[in-house]
Amino acid sequence: MQIINPLLPLKAVTQFTSLSRATVYRRVKDGTFPKPIRIGENRVVWRHEDLEAWLATCAAASH
């Protein structure tokens, strides 16, 4: 059984979504991408479940 880290840093988010860093932050700003969680002064992460839900919404909208 593989355990998936529920919190993903930006690098993992860009790999998971195939979006660039700039696109991720632009979509966060305009409300079309999940907001990150600040876990430190210079550290943000995204919840894996939020990204899964966003991906499902994108897939549903494309059909």
Question: Strands, DSSP E only, in the chain?
Answer: 7-8, 37-40, 43-47
The answer, yes or no, to whether residue 23 has pLDDT greater than 90, is yes
Percent of the chain whose predicted confidence (pLDDT) is above 70 = 94
Residue 40 lies in a domain: yes
4 three-class SS: coil
Quote the domain boundaries for residue 30.
Answer: 7-58
Q: What is the mean pLDDT of residues 2-14?
A: 85
Into how many domains does the chain fold?
A: 1
Is the confidence at residue 50, as pLDDT, over 80? yes
**Can you give the pTM of this predicted structure?**
0.85
pLDDT at 4: 66
Residue 1 lies in a domain: no
Report yes or no on 2 lying in a domain.
no
The answer to whether residue 27 sits within a structural domain is: yes
Residue 25: Cβ-neighbour burial (10 angstroms; 0-12, 13-18, 19+): middle
Please check whether residue 47 lies inside any domain of the structure. yes
For the residues 30-49, what does the mean pLDDT come to? 96
